[in-house]
Amino acid sequence: MKFYTSIPERLKPYYNTELDQYRTEYAIGNLKNAWTHLERAHIIGQKYPYAHTFVHWKMLQFGFKIKSAKEIIGQIPRLIFGGVKSFVGKIPVGNPGGVNVPPLKAFPIEQDLQDIFAKAGVSSI
């Protein structure tokens, strides 16, 4: 069994770019675009406990921002258990992380995100 810890240095800039774009869109009130960048950061970082947990923390905060009880309640178990599942390598690959999708369902990874994993020289699975 492979234990994952921190996001690889070659992948970190892509993860950070998505979080920066999230913050930019959030700050100017483009909440739909902001959320998309959180989902992308989730897919990039979901194998790595800290990165995965951090995105769920941001998603929980987002739920408060949009006053969505469903998102708030749904993010709490994801926040608690997501990092643990990352640590032991049991993640639903490609899952965007929001409560609008089942928490354990895998999804196809968009081509541009596959390209990011390839450029960084890391596997998405």
Q: Does some domain include residue 116?
A: yes
Instruction: Please check whether residue 7 lies inside any domain of the structure.
Output: no
| pLDDT per residue as tens digits for the range 80-97 | 888 878 877 788 889 999
59 domain-assigned: yes
More confident residue, 103 or 89: 103
In sequence order, which residues have a C-beta less than 8 Å from that of residue 25 and are 6 or more positions away?
Answer: 31, 33, 34, 37
Q: Structural domain tally of the chain?
A: 1
Give the pLDDT of residue 4.
67
Nearest CA to 55 out of 42, 68, 44 is that of 42
- In a domain, residue 6? The reply is no
What's the domain range around 22? Answer: 12-120
pLDDT (0 to 100) of residue 1 = 53
Which has more confidence, 93 or 21?
Answer: 21
